[in-house]
Amino acid sequence: MSKRRAGSRQEVAAAAAGISVSSAHRIESGRLQPQAAKPRSRRRPDPLAEVWEPLLLPLLERHPALTPTTLLEHLQEQKPDQDWSSLKRTLQRRVQQWKALHGPTPEVMFPLAYQPGEIGFCDFGVDPRN
């Protein structure tokens, strides 16, 4: 800022401060932090809206281990008049979200609870080269 007050151009002052020119413009205009991006809203209608709650959600609640591929096959059997294969990735995301919020808790294979000194293996007194 002192270079800018002394009459230097914005590019020179930014280079002296070690910041980009766009950051220098932003700081000089009074916006110290960049604007946080607003969360994106849905850009198209939900393609699974008509089948998620009546068909798929009850299946997932009864059998939470079902995979999105199995659910897609079930959709193709129940409603063969539509092409569901283009919605595979959407269904995978939806099932992943549901399992994260409402699915079974993941099984813990081994607890990581160590007592102090239990796994220490350092020896400060011996040089390994000798």
Average pLDDT (46-74) is 94
Domain ranges of the chain: 1-33, 49-102
* pTM across the whole model: 0.55
Buried b (16+ CB within 10 A) or exposed e, 21-39: eeebebbeeeeeeeeeeee
Residue 86 has a pLDDT of: 93
Residue 39 has a pLDDT of: 82
Q: Is 45 strand, coil or helix?
A: coil
Q: Using CA atoms, how far apart are residues 49 and 20, in angstroms rounded to an integer?
A: 46
Each residue of 83-120: pLDDT tens digit?
A: 999 999 999 999 999 999 998 887 877 777 777 766 66
Each residue of 4-34: pLDDT tens digit?
A: 778 778 788 888 888 888 888 888 777 777 6
